[in-house]
Structure 1
Amino acid sequence: MPRERVLVVDDEVDVLDLCQRVLETEGYQVVRASDGWEALNKAREQTFDLLLTDIKMPGLGGLELARAMKEGNANLVCVTMTSFSTMNLAIEALRLGIDEFIVKPFTPDELVSSVSKALAKVRLQRENIRLRALIPLFELSKAFLSTLKEDEILEHVLRIAHQETHAAGALVMLVDPQQGWITARKAAGILAGMRVSSPHQGWSLPWEILELNQQVILQGTELLPTTTRSMALEAGIGPLVGLPIVVQNKPSGVLIAAREAGAAPFDASDVELLSILCGQAGIALANARLFAEIQRAYEEVKRLDHMKREFINIAAHELRTPLAILMGYASILAEETTGEMRERLEIVVRNAVRLRSLIDDMLNLRYLETGEIAFHPETLHIREVVEEVLEELGPLAREKPLTVLVDLPADLPPVVSDRQKVMVILANLLSNAIKFTPAGGTVRIGAEAQNGELRVEVADTGIGIPPEAIPHIFEPFYQVEDSLTREHGGIGLGLTIAREMIKRCGGQIGVESVPGQGSRFYFTLPLEPA
């Protein structure tokens, strides 16, 4: 059932009554007016789909009414009623875009047929227009996908608007987010010289389009404000179409296409194309601005990250020399003294070793990230590596105290790897196990050969790791505990270094953990080739 809104205009009451009764019976929503001026006022208050008007009326005639209403509603369907017809009248009606004629007197069936035919014809035309508009816009979509630069996007918009609507000029403007002014970014043809800045300077039409946030279609310059009209006349501008460019739900620019004075007005296909063009431009501009923001944020993060790593590198190098001196003298004094003084010096040495370990972690991470660390493969036995690591970290386990169990089969085959890196990997895992296992707990070091690899495990009876933290524990500086309230030391680099070094050694690293019961870290190394 049709639901189109129809404005019926005739100076004869009988004709108005007949048209209203017939069309309402067919389901149309009918509004009536007895002359052209009354109809024009009603058109300003509400939107209509179809105008059914008598041609000859006192005052404002039907053709003049149709032209005036089409200026505000380019999609309006027009049907005229007349008692006579001439060739000149028909030509004028066609020029104004009248869609159907009906000759008085007419029957109800003829009236319904004329109205429905006009609407059906316009629907078909609009569908053809929509399909025709998609062809250049398809190419534009590919162009938009290939660039994230704002100027290139506007260049594409200007070119399509200028060429595909056969306009004599086109203009693309954007609002400056800093000053709030609208400036011409791209222009061509007769619109190249138009100045726009503030609402009170230059061409005011773009500001009106922005404020209304809707398209403006003018068949000439008569309805333009005085200042704007004089500028348009000076530039030779006739029919024009202006549409807002909406970026992220905010009117942020304007596209205007114009033809020379006296040229044919833009038809519905032109308006449809420009409307879709503005929609695509808004999306492309939003993407370009989002990309620019992300790029700026990324560059800032890179800068801060570089500063952080340079600080760590400089600090680590500057700390190493005084720390080496401190450890050297403290170790000599510890060997030369006895009793309580020796115990205190041993505490100094142990904490100096911990500090050296932190410094080594920071430097190792930098070397791994920059690729400056070399790989020196050799045949080694994991038992020897375990003994060397325990020699260094054993005192920390005994101090707590913890039980450290070494469960290594006697027939473990050797591996081909970098001894220093394997020692760092095992030391980091063992250090974490000691750190997160409460006093009285147990740490176990085990290994087995399987599937051409040597699997080394460090298991503890410590606090365990929450499931949601496991995907992140190998990330740099990640801490399961809050940095301000955590009970355990470290800067969160040990596992990151272990992961990167095991990659250099051609192996893998992983973890299994149950909160409250403990964790089991493991890594694999290739066995010595046969």
Structure 2
Amino acid sequence: MNIGQSLLDKSQQVIQDWISSVDQEESIQSSHDLSRQAMLDSLPNLLKAMARTLDDQSATDLQQLAETGVEHGNHRAEQGFNAEEVATEYRLLRQVILTHLEADLLQLPQTQLLSSVRKIDLLLDVVIGQCFKCYADNRLRELEDIRGQMLLTNQELDRLITSQQEDIVHLAHDLKSPLTAIIGFSDLFLRQQRKSEQDSSSPQNLRSIEQVLGNARRLLHIINDALELARYRSGKLKLTPAPNSVALLLDEVVAALEPLAQRKNLDLKINNTFPEQAIWIDALRFQQLLTNLVSNAIRYTETGSVTITCQQQAEDRFTLSVTDTGLGISPEEQAHIFEPYYRGEHGLQLSDSTGLGLAIVAQVVELLRGKISVQSNCEQGTTFGVELPLQWAE
């Protein structure tokens, strides 16, 4: 019985069953937004190399296995997988391979059966080791990049301190928790590395890296939102209007936010009756406005839908609205939602809420010479309406 040839013959079914297993695995969330090709990654090459090596464990095939592990680690780091998700992928792959080879393996003498199973485990361990080493290296490089960005944004914050004293007080309060986590996990990671020169891809080290990266990203999000608001208030932002298609701008925003809605099984819809004509508008600021409103609607909606409606209101005006079926906003909170750093009852329960999103929206609308309104009832959803001019005049 040639186990290597059997694996090669069944490789397509192994791939199909593995993809189905990953799709059904609730603990692997990062794969849900990937195409089939992105999911496959280097798996076909891995199975071919394993099949050859099961017949003849040559150095060339082991090198090929190591290379597939490196490629997989690079891709999963770029796609935002965490360490547990990658480990689960390999656990499922091991199960699928052994399931498909079980009948063939049972035909072998006992000693040869054990030898073949051990060899399969060894080959997968070679791939896993290279994958996690490369994955950890990518995460460390990303951490270093974030550190550089934080240094740059910190310098800009220093320049704004004198003119933004009140905002800085609020900002410092929001920065305290994630910054403490960054310092704590970074210190733990460094102390572990100093005690041992072992491979930095151990599960505990990887979890520490993930904690640092998650909190660092949140910190940068808070800082960038605060800086954006400061730029609006200082009057340093200038519009660059140009002819743009509203339909195209809407489609681009929906394409970018569709994965967020899919993760919560929300229906993200566009209801656009705006005439097919180009209007003069700053595309970047228009999409920033829409992105903030839609992402906010998704964040506070657990079931149902988020609908974007666009229509011409008059000869010189058009309206844009974002309606959700979410938690709603009480009348008392509606009077404060556009204030910087204000977070209502629901916002205080979310770790990624900075209280700056709607304040930035209000500033963008003002910059675009428009008007914004809100209609909402608790537990009945919310509609944010924006009225903007069709033509830009200096």
- The verdict on a shared fold, with TM-score over 0.5 as the criterion, is no
Task: Give the number of the structure whose residues are more often strand, by fraction.
Answer: 1
TM-score range relative to shorter protein: 0.3 to 0.5
Task: Give the number of the structure whose residues are more often helix, by fraction.
Answer: 2
Higher RCO (CA-CA < 8 Å; seq separation 6+): 2
Q: TM-score, normalised by structure 2?
A: 0.44
